Structure 1
Amino acid sequence: MYFDNYKDFPDAQLDMKLLWEYDLDKIDLNSSRNVVVQRVIERGWPQDWYFILNYYGIAAVIESIKQIGYLNDKDMYFVSHQFGIPLSEMKCYEKKQSGNLNGNF
């Protein structure tokens, strides 16, 4: 995995600008895990990756990746490769295969 040294950065902080449309005083990072992981995949820097891997753990990040409804192809293939997730286990891939890109199932 590209970020396999994440434990070397236990003090990494999430750039809260990734969550620009949320009330940052009220956001719960635990209940918003899928949103946070998606934003880091789409726009995050290495410190953001280190944060989510330390904060949530690899298993929870993988579970979130599987549940994300949309990722562009580049990001989808990147996380599939980096975390060893078969594309068929990713909701975003299944939606693309079905032609249902609007998120309704």
Structure 2
Amino acid sequence: MFFDNYIEHPNAKLNNNLLWEYNLSDFDFLKMRNLVVQRVVERGWPDDWYFILNFYGLEEVKKAIKEISYLNDKDMNFVSVIFDIPFIELKCYTKKQLTKQHWNS
């Protein structure tokens, strides 16, 4: 895995700008796990990745990634490769396959 050394970064902080629209003083990080993980996947830096991996644990991050409703193709490919998650297990992939595509002609 790309972030194998996350345990070496126990003091990593989450960039507050990722959750700019929320009041973080009373933000429930456990309840909003999927949102936090989605924001880190879409816009996070290495410290943000280290934070979620230390805070939630590897298996919980993988579970959250599988439950995210939308990711663009680049982010979907990234998490699939990095966390060894087949596309078919990603909700965002199966949801994308169900939507009708317009013809390109």
TM-score interval, normalised by the smaller of the two chains: over 0.9
Q: What per-residue deviation string (whole Å, max 9, x for no partner) do you get for residues 27-49 of structure 1?
A: 10110100000000000000000
Give matches, 1:1-105, under 5 Å: 1-99=1-99
Q: Structure 1 stretch 15-24 or stretch 38-47: which is displaced more?
A: 15-24
CA distance in 2, matches of 1:5, 1:23: 30
Q: Secondary structure at the match of 2:66?
A: helix
Please identify the structure whose Cα radius of gyration is greater: 2
Q: TM-score, normalised by structure 2?
A: 0.92
- Runs (4+) of structure 1 exceeding 6 A deviation are none
C-alpha deviation, 1:90, in angstroms: 0.5
Q: TM-score, normalised by structure 1?
A: 0.92
Structure 2 segments unaligned to the other structure (5+ residues): 101-105
Identity %: 60
CA distance in 2, matches of 1:95, 1:25: 34
Please, what is the CA RMSD of the aligned residues? 0.9
Q: Which amino acid aligns with 1:5?
A: N
Q: Secondary structure at the match of 1:25?
A: helix
Structure-2 residue corresponding to 1:103: none
Structure 1 segments unaligned to the other structure (5+ residues): 101-105
Structure-1 residue corresponding to 2:103: none
